[in-house]
Every structure is written in structure tokens, then in C-alpha cells.
Structure 1
Amino acid sequence: MSVATQNDWEQCVAFHGHECPGLAIGYRIAKAAQNKLGVSFSPDEDVVCVTENDACGLDAVQYLTGCTLGKGNLIYRDRGKQAFSFFVRSQNKKLRVVMSLKFDRDKMDREALKKQILTMPDEELFAFSEPSYDLPARARLFKSVTCEQCGETCSERNVRLHEGKQLCMDCAPDYSRGW
């Protein structure tokens, strides 16, 4: 059963906290992807979303698709783009949706832009293609390890060894050399 109903825009707004053009972008991207892939809300990891931003629209994508960080079917791939790739594991389908509408943020009327985004045809608003990368692996469960300095537990994959001790990332000294 889908969480989204005929009032799904209002529910996305309630989830996000306010109406804005960014939320409208995510709303339309999620709807377009669901229509093109023939899927709805994903209660499991069958539908996977790889987001290339952490902007407002991501809240609508999460709410409508069921793709979340906690469930492991939302992956953050920071590129600063209004782009989302969707994969349907059971059907071996994939789709990348990129915002193609150009606008000047400094000169825009936010309300008019939001209305424009909510009513434009998909083909004028987005570019559709296949992602250039493969379907990400299913989420893994890792053992918990206790940091030998602060005593807090963290995922085994985030432990750092320092002078023979297992340390969480907050306690481990930084070892970046500018790259």
C-alpha cells in the first residue's frame, strides 16, 4: 500500500515543514520516476534511490518513494546536482532524472516558480536517462565495536586503528594531507 494519497503534495509539505520550489522539484521527480518505472512506495529495499544532493526535494522523494537512509535504499552521492537515480531490483530497471529547467535564483518569484514546477510537463522539466553506474549493493549489517577511548559503540566499518587501539571516527586523529 502506498503512503501517498490524492493529498500527497500536502503530506510532503507537512513532512518537510513548508512549501518551496525545491520540495516541488523532488515531488515531481519522485512522481515522474514512479510513473516511468511503474512502481510506488517501497516498504523494503526493492526500489533504491541515489540522490546527488541534500536539498529540499529529497524530503519529497523520501516521503513518496519510501527510500530512506535508515532502510538502506537511499544513497547520498554528493554531486550538488538536482539529479536522482532510481533502481528497481526485482525488475532490473533503472532511471536517472535530472532537473533541466533553468532559472535565476536571484530574480525568481518563489511562489510562481513552485507553481510552474508543479504544472509543467515532465519532458520540459526533466532529462531522463540511464545512470552511468550500477545498482548499489544491498545494505549490510556490521558488527558494533566499542571505541577504546570514549566507550561509545560504532559500526565496525567506521572504526579506525590508532596506535593499536580501535577508535571511533570522532576520537581517531585526522589523517588528511589536503586531499
Structure 2
Amino acid sequence: MPCMISPEQISACIAFHGHECPGLAIGIRAAELALRELGPAGPDLVAVCETDMCGVDAIMMLTNCTVGKGNLVFRDLGKMAFTFHRRGGPGFRAVLRPQSRRGMDEHMVPLMRKDIDGRATDAERQELLDLRKQMQRSFMAMELEDMFDITKLESLPPRPPSILESLVCDTCGERVMESRTRRFQGRTLCIPCFEAVEQKR
């Protein structure tokens, strides 16, 4: 079934992100899946994103999950995977299926490398643009179950954020959340100051 997110909401996602692309389409469809399975956006909806790619912007826009509210959790795992929960209840994890890309990466990736390196010809840049648009359209028209491997989860979502004391770094004098401090030779340090003196890195 084609994407059920309204054109107005899709336009808002594009404006927020700054451009349209296949990655944004993945996030739009992941958010659509979350809203379909768990109901409308609200403060008790939690998203865990295992990537920092474009689609996270669409997830923020459509689910109202944000880092600042503590209901969007970023885990730097480099996976096109998204977990959604209602606080206090079960949820699901959706992983982009490799076959959903329809083999287009075989042509796109070399072209992207050439474009980034400045070696792509005008014809190759146009081919890359056409492939990206084709992939984007494909994602927006695909059945969600064909696009994602979906696993129901019985585990609870991440805990809500805690209000913690701020401590002063003994080196730079800046205040830092207690849970992000390190102890070194009897001193309280922020992470950058700790990394500057710790030898086992």
C-alpha cells in the first residue's frame, strides 16, 4: 500500500530536513509503521534509532519524539533499524530489509563515491539523481511489511530521563551532568578533559 502519511506532513518533513531523499523516505515509512501499530503521536511514544541517517528527522517530525524530551534515543550502531514503544508497554523493532532496495545500491554506491570525490561526469550525476528518485518512489509505494522486518518486543522501553546533579570539572571548570563525569587520580573530570590525560585510549 502506498504511504498513508498526508502530502502536507511529507512536505513538512522535507522542509525540516532540507531535501527529499531515499533516507528520508525510510524514516517517513518507519514513522508511519509506528503510528499504525501504536496509535497517534504523544509523550508516551518512544523511538530508538540505531542510525543517524536522514530518516531520523522524519521520525522526529511525525512521531513528536525528540532527544530533548528523552523519548528519542540514538544508539550509534550503524543499522537501519528503529524500535518504537509506548511507555509501560510492549513495542516492536523494524529493520529495513536489504531486498527493499531492489538491487539499486549496486549502481548507486559507485556513482555516489565518484560524486563525493568530484570525479563524476554530468551524465553520471544525473544518473545518480535519477536512481535516488527511483529508490525514493519505490520506498514510498512499498508495502510496509515488504520494506521492513518487524519483530514484536515484550521488553519495556528505555527508562525516562533522570534529573541528575551537575558537577564542576576540576580541569576546565565547566559544569557537567554527574553521569557523564570520570574520576582520575582523585579528581572529577568531564569526558574531554579525562580523554586528554587518560593513557589507555
Check conservation: 2:90, 2:153, Cα contact below 8 A.
no
Larger Rg: 2
2:113 maps to none
Which residue is equivalent to 1:114? 136
Shift of 1:23: 0.2
2:83 and 2:154 map into 1 onto residues whose CA distance is: 9
Q: Tell me, which stretches of 5 or more residues in structure 1 are unaligned?
A: none
Shift of residue 79, structure 1, vs aligned partner: 2.2
Determine which of 126, 135, 149 is the counterpart of 1:127. Answer: 149
Query: How many Å apart are 1:67 and its aligned residue?
Result: 1.2
Q: Using the alignment, how far apart are the partners of 1:78 and 1:167 within structure 2? A: 24
Classify the secondary structure of the residue corresponding to 1:130. strand
How large is the Cα RMSD of the aligned pairs?
2.0
| 2-structure distance, mates of 1:133, 1:175 | 37
Measured at CA, do residues 68 and 176 of structure 1 come closer, stay the same or move farther in structure 2, by a change above 3 Å?
Answer: farther
Q: How big is the shift at 1:159? A: 1.1
**Unmatched segments (≥5 aa) in structure 2:** 109-130
Aligned counterpart for 2:53 among listed residues 52, 55, 66? 55
Alignment-derived partner of residue 124 in structure 2: none
Alpha-carbon contact 2:90-2:156 (below 8 Å) kept: no
Which moves more between the two structures, 10-19 or 69-78? 69-78
Q: Which residue is 2:81 aligned to?
A: 83
Contact 2:90 2:157 in 1 (8 A): no
1:35 aligned to 2:32?
A: no
What residue in structure 1 maps to residue 95 of structure 2?
98
SS in 2 for 1:170: helix
User: How many Å separate the matches in 1 of 2:91 and 2:29?
Assistant: 17
- Matched to 1:59, the amino acid is D
Any idea what SS the aligned residue of 1:80 has? coil
Q: Deviations over 1:122-175 (max 9, x none)?
A: 121112112485421111111111111111111011111122221111111464
Q: Corresponding residue for 2:163?
A: 141
| TM-score, with length taken from structure 1 | 0.87
Q: 1:132 to 1:89 in 2, by over 3 A?
A: closer
Which range moves more in the overlay, 74-83 or 50-59?
A: 74-83
Shift of 1:104: 3.6
1:94-126 Cα distance to aligned partner (Å, 9 max, x none): 011111113342414000110111111112111
Q: Secondary structure in 1 aligned to 2:172?
A: coil
Q: Do the aligned partners of residues 88 and 132 (structure 1) sit closer, same or farther apart at CA in structure 2, a change above 3 Å counting?
A: closer
- Residues 37 and 93 in structure 1, CA contact (< 8 A), matched pair in contact too: no
Greater share of helix: 2
Q: Deviations over 1:73-100 (max 9, x none)?
A: 111222221110101025x130111111
Cα separation, 2, equivalents of 1:87 and 1:56: 21
Q: Which residue matches 1:162?
A: 184
Name the residue aligned to 2:11.
Answer: 10
Cα deviation, 1:23-53, whole Å, max 9, x if unaligned, reads 0000011011111112x222x2x11111111
